[in-house]
C-alpha cells in the first residue's frame, strides 16, 4: 500500500515538473541572442520608475494594469506616478537608502517608443535581473525568468505597439530555499535589473547562435556550428577572418543548422599574447561580427596544458562588486577596476566567484590576457533532492555556457562550490550536471570545489567522491584562519583519493583591516595585517608540499560587503579577506602574493 502511494506521489511529482516545463518559467526564456553588442539594438538603460513593494501586495493590486481613475469616487494605490526613479543597469540596494539591505519586490517601469516594421522581428533582452523577473508589456504578461546572473529574452514582435509601449518588470531578490544560490551566502544580495536591457531588431530570419573555437585538443582545426532562427532556414553561410583573408563557406540545413570545420593558421591566444581576431559570420539575411581568440586547454595526466604547454594558474578570487562605489559591478569601467588590480598582482587567471559575472568583465579579461574561471551559484546548502532545483541547475548551466562559449578566455566551468557530500541527492545531481556540461562543451575544463576535507595532525586527506567527475581537484582551505595549523606548514602530508589529477587551491586566506597594526600579530582576534601576512607566508610553504599543484587563487582581491560579517570593530559589514581594502589600499599580504607570482 505504502509503495503504491509512493508511486502515485512520484507520478504526481513528475507531472508537476512537466506542467512547469510547459507553462512555467524555466523554458520560457532559456536561450537568448548572443553577442548583443553586434546586433541592431535600442538600449532601454537609463531611468526607470519604481514602486517598492516589501509585502508583495502589488501582485494583488495588479500593478501591471496601471489602473487609472474613471470617476470621482475612484482612487489608485500602487501607481508609479510620483515615485522614485532608479538607474538601470544597477543594483537597487546602493541607489536608495531604504533599499540598502532590502530583499523583496521592486516593480520597475519604462516607457519606450517603437514603430513596428513588418519585415522585422523584435526581442526584449535582459543581461540579468537578480533574482527573478516577471515581465509585462502593455498590461500583458510576456514571461518570467529565475536566476540572477544570466541573460534572457522574449520575442515581442506581435506584442509591441506603434508609439508608446509600457514595460513593467517585477523584480524579486527574496532568497528561496530552492533557489540557486539557496538562502545562505557570504556576499551582498544586490537586487534589481543589474545588467543592460535592450530591444533587438532582427530580420525575419537571423543568425541566432554560433560556436567558433578550436576543436578539442587541436591548434589548427576550427570547429563549431551556426544556427539560424526564422522561416528561411536553408541559406548560404560564410565565416570570414579578414586578417587572414579567409572566407569559409557552408550551408544551413532544414532546421537552420550548419556545421563548421576548417583548418587555419591562427596565432594562438595566451596570457602573454592575447591575440583576438575579428570574425564575421554571414548568412543571406544577417551579419554578425565578433572578436574571437583561439587556444587549447586540456588536462594531460596531472598537468594542465594551455596550447600544449604546462601552465600554472596564478589566480585571484573576485566578487562582482565595484569596491570603490559599493555597488554591483556591471560596466567596462567596473571591470577594469577589478582586472587592473588582478593584473598588478601578477595574475594570469581570475576566478569570478560564485555566479556568472557580466559579459564586460569576461571580454575585458580576455583582451588583457587573463584566463577566466566561470562558476554557477550552486553554493553550499542546495536542495539537491528537489526536482525543481535540478531543472534550475540545468537551465543556469545552459544559459552560462550559451552566452560565453565563444570566449577563449573562459578556460574553466566551475559547477559547484562547497556543497556537502551528506546533502541528500547531491552526488546524483552534480554528476548529472557534469555530464550535461561535458555534452554542451567538451573543450573546457570542468570542476567542482570542495572544502569538506579533513586536516588533522598536519595530515590533509582529500576524499570527496565528486572529484572523480572533476578535471581538477579544487580545494578551499583556510588553514591559519578557520583551521589552526597542526604542525609546520612545510611538513603537511597529503592523501588524495584521486592522486593523478592536477590540484588547485581555489581559496585560502584570512581577515585583516588595512592599516591595523596594533595588537599582537600572532592572534587572530585583532584582525591585524601582520596576522594575515603570516597566513600567506605559511600558505606558500604549504603549497610546496602539494603534489601536482597546478594553480592557486587567494580569497580574495578586495574587501567586499557581506551581511554575515558583523564584527562591529573590524568587519562592519565587510568580509575583510581582501588583499586590498575596499578603498584599494594594499595590505601586507598583497606583497607576499605579488612576490610569489613574480617567482612562479
CA-only gyration radius of the chain, Å: 25
Q: How far is Cα 250 from Cα 228, in angstroms, rounded to an integer?
A: 13
The answer to the question of residue 66 lying near ligand GCB (CB under 6 A) is no
Please confirm whether the linkage preceding 467 is cis (ω < 30° from 0).
Answer: no
- CB 317 to ligand GCB: min, Å: 8
The residue behind cell 536566476 is: 147
Of these, 416, 434, 447, 476, which contacts ligand GCB (CB under 6 A)?
476
Q: How far is Cα 316 from Cα 340, in angstroms, rounded to an integer?
A: 12
Of these, 189, 283, 419, 451, which contacts ligand GCB (CB under 6 A)?
451
Is the CB of 324 or the CB of 482 nearer to ligand GCB?
Answer: 482
The answer to the question of residue 419 lying near ligand GCB (CB under 6 A) is no
Which residues lie closer than 8 Å to 593 by C-beta, 6 or more apart? 316, 345, 346, 536, 554, 579
Question: How far are the Cα atoms of 149, 205, 288 from residue 209, in angstroms, in the given order?
Answer: 20, 12, 10
- CB 147 to ligand GCB: min, Å: 19
Q: What is the DSSP string of 543-576?
A: HTT-TTEEEE--S-SB-EE-TT---TTTTTTEE-
Is the CB of 248 or the CB of 455 nearer to ligand GCB?
Answer: 455
**CB 481, CB 524: distance < 8 Å:** yes
- CB 319 to ligand GCB: min, Å: 8
The answer to the question of residue 561 lying near ligand GCB (CB under 6 A) is no
Is the CB of 409 or the CB of 578 nearer to ligand GCB?
Answer: 578
- CB 343 to ligand GCB: min, Å: 23
**Helices (runs of H) and strands (runs of E) counted in the chain:** 8, 35
- b vs e for 399-422, b when ≥16 Cβ sit within 10 Å of the residue's Cβ? bbbbbbbbbbbbbbbbbbbbbeee
Residue nearest ligand GCB (C-beta atom) = 186
- CB 564 to ligand GCB: min, Å: 9
Name the DSSP letter for residue 533.
H
User: Dmax over Cα atoms in the chain, in whole Å?
Assistant: 83
Is the CB of 130 or the CB of 205 nearer to ligand GCB?
Answer: 130
Is the CB of 77 or the CB of 483 nearer to ligand GCB?
Answer: 483
The answer to the question of residue 570 lying near ligand GCB (CB under 6 A) is no
**CB 352, CB 318: distance < 8 Å:** yes
Q: How far is Cα 509 from Cα 592, in angstroms, rounded to an integer?
A: 12
Is the CB of 406 or the CB of 453 nearer to ligand GCB?
Answer: 453
- As a dihedral over the C-alpha atoms of residue 145, residue 147, residue 149, residue 154, rounded to 10 degrees, the angle is -10
Is the CB of 531 or the CB of 555 nearer to ligand GCB?
Answer: 555
Is the CB of 330 or the CB of 555 nearer to ligand GCB?
Answer: 555
The answer to the question of residue 210 lying near ligand GCB (CB under 6 A) is no
Angle CA(568)–CA(569)–CA(570) in degrees, nearest 5? 100
Of these, 282, 375, 507, 529, which contacts ligand GCB (CB under 6 A)?
507
Of these, 384, 413, 555, 574, which contacts ligand GCB (CB under 6 A)?
555
- CB 577 to ligand GCB: min, Å: 5
Is the CB of 441 or the CB of 529 nearer to ligand GCB?
Answer: 529
Q: In what order do the strands lie in the sheet with 459-462?
A: 454-456, 459-462, 493-496
Instruction: State whether residue 251 is helix, strand or coil.
Output: strand
- b vs e for 114-125, b when ≥16 Cβ sit within 10 Å of the residue's Cβ? beeeeeebbbbb
The answer to the question of residue 375 lying near ligand GCB (CB under 6 A) is no
- As a dihedral over the C-alpha atoms of residue 372, residue 378, residue 381, residue 383, rounded to 10 degrees, the angle is -170
Question: CB-side exposure of 99: number of CA atoms within 13 Å?
Answer: 25
The answer to the question of residue 582 lying near ligand GCB (CB under 6 A) is no
Is the CB of 314 or the CB of 577 nearer to ligand GCB?
Answer: 577
- CB 372 to ligand GCB: min, Å: 18
User: Binding-site residue total for ligand GCB (CB under 6 A)?
Assistant: 10
- CB 588 to ligand GCB: min, Å: 18
Output the nine-digit C-alpha cell for 552: 592557486
The answer to the question of residue 283 lying near ligand GCB (CB under 6 A) is no
- CB 320 to ligand GCB: min, Å: 13
Instruction: State whether residue 506 is helix, strand or coil.
Output: strand
Is the CB of 108 or the CB of 514 nearer to ligand GCB?
Answer: 514
- CB 22 to ligand GCB: min, Å: 36
The answer to the question of residue 594 lying near ligand GCB (CB under 6 A) is no
**CB 509, CB 555: distance < 8 Å:** yes
Of these, 53, 91, 146, 186, which contacts ligand GCB (CB under 6 A)?
186
- CB 131 to ligand GCB: min, Å: 17
Of these, 577, 581, 582, 596, which contacts ligand GCB (CB under 6 A)?
577
User: Own/partner pairs for 20-23, CB < 8 Å, 24+ apart?
Assistant: 20/388, 20/391, 21/391
The answer to the question of residue 418 lying near ligand GCB (CB under 6 A) is yes
- CB 363 to ligand GCB: min, Å: 25
- CB 379 to ligand GCB: min, Å: 7
- CB 411 to ligand GCB: min, Å: 20
Is the CB of 202 or the CB of 476 nearer to ligand GCB?
Answer: 476
Is the CB of 319 or the CB of 588 nearer to ligand GCB?
Answer: 319
Output the nine-digit C-alpha cell for 230: 526564422
Contact positions toward ligand GCB, by CB under 6 A?
186, 354, 417-418, 451, 476, 507, 555, 575, 577
Amino acid at each position: 500500500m505504502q509503495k503504491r502511494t509512493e508511486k502515485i506521489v512520484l507520478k504526481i511529482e513528475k507531472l508537476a515538473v512537466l506542467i512547469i516545463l510547459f507553462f512555467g518559467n524555466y523554458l520560457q526564456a532559456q536561450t537568448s541572442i548572443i553577442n548583443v553588442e553586434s546586433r541592431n539594438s535600442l538600449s532601454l538603460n537609463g531611468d526607470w520608475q519604481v514602486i517598492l513593494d516589501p509585502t508583495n501586495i502589488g501582485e494583488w493590486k495588479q500593478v501591471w494594469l496601471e489602473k487609472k481613475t474613471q470617476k470621482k469616487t475612484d482612487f489608485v494605490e500602487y501607481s508609479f506616478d510620483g515615485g522614485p526613479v532608479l538607474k538601470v543597469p544597477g543594483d537597487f540596494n546602493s541607489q536608495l537608502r531604504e533599499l540598502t539591505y532590502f530583499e523583496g519586490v521592486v516593480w520597475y517601469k519604462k516607457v519606450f517608443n517603437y514603430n513596428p516594421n513588418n519585415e522585422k522581428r523584435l526581442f526584449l533582452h535582459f543581461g540579468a535581473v537578480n533574482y527573478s523577473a516577471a515581465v509585462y508589456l502593455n498590461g500583458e504578461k510576456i514571461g518570467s525568468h529565475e536566476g540572477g546572473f544570466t541573460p534572457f529574452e522574449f520575442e515581442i514582435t506581435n506584442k509591441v505597439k506603434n508609439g508608446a509601449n509600457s514595460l513593467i518588470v517585477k523584480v524579486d531578490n527574496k532568497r528561496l530555499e530552492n533557489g540557486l544560490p539557496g538562502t545562505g551566502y557570504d556576499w551582498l544580495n544586490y537586487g534589481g535589473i543589474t545588467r543592460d536591457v535592450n530591444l533587438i531588431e532582427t530580420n525575419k530570419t537571423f543568425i541566432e547562435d554560433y560556436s567558433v573555437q578550436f576543436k578539442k585538443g587541436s591548434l589548427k582545426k576550427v570547429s563549431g556550428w551556426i544556427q539560424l532562427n526564422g522561416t528561411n532556414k536553408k541559406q548560404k553561410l560564410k565565416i570570414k577572418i579578414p586578417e587572414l583573408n579567409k572566407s569559409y563557406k557552408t550551408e544551413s540545413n532544414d532546421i537552420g543548422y550548419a556545421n563548421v570545420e576548417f583548418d587555419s593558421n591562427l596565432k594562438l591566444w595566451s596570457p602573454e599574447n592575447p591575440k583576438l581576431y575579428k570574425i564575421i559570420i554571414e548568412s543571406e539575411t544577417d551579419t554578425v561580427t565578433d572578436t574571437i581568440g583561439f587556444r587549447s586547454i586540456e588536462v594531460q595526466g596531472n598537468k594542465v596544458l594551455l596550447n600544449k604547454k604546462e601552465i600554472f594558474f596564478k589566480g585571484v578570487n573576485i566578487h562582482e562588486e565595484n569596491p570603490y562605489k559599493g555597488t554591483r559591478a556591471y560596466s567596462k569601467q567596473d571591470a577594469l577596476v577589478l582586472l587592473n588590480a588582478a593584473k598588478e598582482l601578477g595574475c594570469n587567471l581570475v576566478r569570478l566567484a560564485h555566479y556568472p559575472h557580466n559579459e564586460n568583465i569576461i571580454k575585458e579579461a580576455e583582451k588583457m590576457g587573463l584566463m577566466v574561471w566561470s562558476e554557477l551559484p550552486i553554493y553550499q546548502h542546495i536542495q539537491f533532492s528537489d526536482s525543481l532545483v535540478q531543472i534550475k541547475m540545468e537551465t543556469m548551466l545552459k544559459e552560462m555556457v550559451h552566452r560565453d562559449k565563444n570566449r577563449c578566455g573562459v578556460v574553466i566551468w566551475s559547477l559547484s562550490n562547497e556543497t556537502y557530500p551528506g546533502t541528500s541527492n547531491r552526488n546524483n545531481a552534480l554528476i548529472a550536471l557534469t555530464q550535461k556540461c561535458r555534452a554542451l562543451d567538451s573543450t573546457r575544463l570542468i570542476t567542482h570545489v570542495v572544502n569538506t576535507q579533513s586536516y588533522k595532525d598536519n595530515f590533509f586527506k582529500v576524499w570527496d567522491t565528486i572529484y572523480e567527475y572533476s578535471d581538477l581537484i579544487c580545494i578551499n582551505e583556510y588553514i591559519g584562519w578557520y583551521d589552526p595549523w597542526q604542525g609546520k606548514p612545510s611538513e603537511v602530508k597529503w592523501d588524495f583519493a584521486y592522486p593523478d589529477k592536477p590540484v588547485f587551491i581555489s581559496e585560502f586566506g584570512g581577515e585583516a583591516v588595512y592599516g591595523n597594526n596594533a595588537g599582537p600579530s600572532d592572534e587572530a582576534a585583532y584582525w591585524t595585517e601582520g596576522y594575515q601576512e603570516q597566513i600567506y607566508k605559511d600558505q606558500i610553504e604549504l603549497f610546496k608540499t602539494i603534489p601536482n599543484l597546478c594553480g592557486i587563487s587567494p580569497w580574495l582581491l578586495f574587501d567586499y560587503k557581506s551581511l554575515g560579517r558583523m564584527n562591529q570593530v573590524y568587519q562592519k559589514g565587510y568580509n575583510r579577506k581582501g588583499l586590498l581594502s575596499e578603498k584599494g589600499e594594499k595590505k601586507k599580504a598583497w606583497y607576499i602574493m605579488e612576490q610569489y607570482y613574480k617567482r612562479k
